[in-house]
Structure 1
């Protein structure tokens, strides 16, 4: 039993004094095709508007053999970069005629599988996924069941289409500028090493040292995962190891930066914090920090638009190519030439 009353096309037809067939044709935009009188069209539309009635999307989609929905799987809803992707994608999907379902994997392989299975059960028309593993065969299996585009992360060794930022290039520039200032001690805090962001961002870090003819201290390169508490732990361990802060710090995600900043604030409210702080991903709150933080800014709009376009192309049976989306650096601490 329910206290809610749901109107049907039959109800609208009765209220407007027309047949169910006529009401259906009008409300589904086929009045002109069947030459229904303008006065009848106006009457039915007015009755529908007065009763806040919308034709059943389910019935229409059933006829088209589509669900009118897309899925987005992201590691964390609290991760600013991934939240921005969801925020940007939702209106784009809506404008394209899709409802977007957003679920979180918590960067856990088992949770990711359950999330995708739930979306499959809902018969989503396509899936955009930020993978949390490098299991190419698993993602290839899902790609056989529906259009699948990898977003923000690629799966190394997989031919599945991806849309990711040009992380290596931007991290290279960020680190190279610091080295050019005479900085020789840059701690690197990264996530799981088998994930593509870790591979790409570490590659940019290492290439900057190589280009400068220098060798980084391997003890200052650490990896855990991309959760905030890991940033805190790596910062604490680095401080304990050196007995002080390093000259500079690069965090491979803003969530790791949050953890590192939490440690600095707890220790001495940033009084002895490193002069050079760098991060992958940005947030406006970094403008308010007591230390300037140079950060790589991903193009969330570009990532969202290109991933949706590829899902739509796959739905249309068209081939798609992977894409590297340009990012840029927000320089809060200008370096001298």
Structure 2
């Protein structure tokens, strides 16, 4: 038997010595409408305050058919980019829409992701924002008849589900292209899962930079695995051991991959030696504290969150299907240009 006591409206009514109907009307803000006396209202509210009672959200949802919650499914809360998106979305949900954000993580596991979506749907969230971890459209499309669903940060190209993503290709092309323009003859690329749209967009930017500068891609320049820190470490270790040196320049497709790269560089050389130029997708304030000057692409988490929520609420209100869009990114330069 649980040691915790769960109070109901019946308990509040009994303690306040009123009917259940009266207690319910007071606690749900309908006292004035039904002309309940001020003294009765104060007595019910006082009992509720003393017992830290909040009306059941489930009961409210049944009456209004709205739970005032939005679900967010992201791969990993330890990833600073996804954490920034979640933070921006939580504050905007609360401040602009008076909604509560409920977050689950997929750990880049499709099965766990599906379970997380099912959990949120079973708890009657009013809409979903998903950072998809697969390119398997049917996994997501089965939910769109149940509630509004929008992709953020990544898209599924074979799906009609609207998405809000960062314009990665042009920004990566600009940053990597500047490395070539300033004399780099070798830029190695470490990326994530090739089936993900974010991976394809970032690699497309890298290859666009090569094309713009009339360069051919070398066999030992592009490596893709996943976005885990361990992969950044393993890729850097393998490249270093194969060549006996660091690459002239390196672009890491995510901050987590960069963390793995830096872990190896620190372990092997205490950061005294490293790739001649380091670049990464996603930024973090800790990069300001490193002896290495790392240029980073900064996603606009606030805009990603704002447009994603706008799409969800547009669908929720039955408006015309929202258009997918790309949000511009910026480059945080730490090297002298």
The 8 Å contact of residues 185 and 216 in structure 1, kept in 2 or not, is answered as no
Q: Structure 2: how far apart are the matches of 1:257 and 1:85?
A: 19
CA distance in 2 between partners of 1:196 and 1:160 (Å) = 14
1:333 corresponds to: 335
**Measured at CA, do residues 112 and 54 of structure 1 come closer, stay the same or move farther in structure 2, by a change above 3 Å?**
closer
Secondary structure in structure 2 of the residue aligned to 1:294: strand
Q: How does 1:316-327 map to 2 (within 5 A)?
A: 316-318=317-319, 319-327=321-329
Q: Return the TM-score normalized by structure 1.
A: 0.92
Q: How do 1:118-267 residues align onto structure 2 when only pairs under 5 Å count?
A: 118-267=119-268
Secondary structure of 1:149's match?
strand
Supply the distance in 1 between the matched residues of 2:111 and 2:53 (Cα, whole angstroms): 41
Secondary structure (helix, strand or coil) at the match of 1:102 reads: strand
Alignment partner, residue 80 of structure 1? 80
Q: CA deviation at 1:118?
A: 2.9
> How do 1:42-121 and structure 2 match up within 5 A?
42-95=42-95, 96-121=97-122
Q: After the TM superposition, which of the residue ranges 35-44 and 151-160 deviates more from structure 2?
A: 35-44
Aligned-residue RMSD, C-alpha: 2.0
Secondary structure of residue in 2 paired with 1:209: helix
- CA drift of 1:219 comes to 1.9
1:19 maps to 19
Q: Which moved more, 1:4-13 or 1:267-276?
A: 4-13
Question: Which segments of structure 1 move beyond 4 Å, counting only runs of 4 or more?
Answer: none
Secondary structure in 1 aligned to 2:143?
A: helix
Aligned-residue offset at 1:196: 0.6
1:17 CA displacement: 4.2
What does residue 271 of structure 1 align with? 272
Q: Deviations over 1:225-254 (max 9, x none)?
A: 111111112112222232211111000001
**CA 1:144 to 1:11, structure 2 compared with 1: closer, same or farther past 3 Å?**
closer
1:34 aligns with 2:34: yes
Cα contact 1:186–1:216 (8 A) shared by 2: no
Alpha-carbon separation, structure 1, partners of 2:243 and 2:121: 50
**How far apart, in 1, do the equivalents of 2:104 and 2:41 lie?**
41
Question: What is the CA-CA distance between 1:97 and the residue it aligns to?
Answer: 4.2
Contact 1:275 1:291 in 2 (8 A): no
Unaligned stretches of 5+ residues in structure 1 = none
SS across alignment from 1:313 = helix
What do residues 93-118 of structure 1 show as CA deviations (whole Å, max 9, x unaligned)?
34434443322222122332233233
- The Cα shift of 1:185 comes to 0.7
Q: Structure 2: give runs of 5+ residues left out of the alignment.
A: none
Instruction: Give the direction of change, closer, same or farther, for the CA distance of 1:258–1:57 in structure 2 (3 Å limit).
Output: same
Aligned CA distance change for structure 1 residues 55 and 256 (closer, same or farther; 3 Å): same
Query: What is the rounded CA distance, in whole Å, between the counterparts of 2:36 and 2:116 in structure 1?
Result: 47
Secondary structure (helix, strand or coil) at the match of 2:142 reads helix
CA contact (8 A) 1:7 1:53 kept: yes
Change (3 A) 1:40 1:108: closer
